[in-house]
Amino acid sequence: MIALVTDIAFILLAVALLFCFYRLIVGPSLPDRVVAIDTITTVTIAMIAVYCIKEGTAIFYDAILVLSILGFVGTVAMAKFLAKGDNIFEQ
């Protein structure tokens, strides 16, 4: 039962990634693309978690933590860049 549900989960998460990539390519403005990249990070974390369930191992949890931290820092840096231009560290 777990195996069937995780296989369906991979297919549905791949469809969700397709929606995100559509917005990343088409999206009319730059903040749309930043939102799409943020969502792609979230869906990737969910895929790693589903893979942990499927294999019954917990060694990929470090990857989950690192990806969530990198996604947050990247989102904040891109938001600062969008608001202020090139120099994101100026006050």
Sign of CA dihedral 56, 59, 63, 68: positive
The candidate with the shortest Cα–Cα distance to 34, out of 91, 83, 87, 1, is 83
Give whichever of 61 and 91 is closer to other proteins, judged by the CB atom.
61
Provide the residue type at 7 as one letter: D
Residues found near other proteins in the complex (CB under 8 A): 1-2, 5-6, 8-9, 12-13, 15-17, 19-20, 22-23, 28-32, 34-36, 38-39, 42-43, 45-46, 49-50, 52-53, 56-58, 61-62, 64-65, 68-69, 71-72, 75-76, 78-80, 82-83
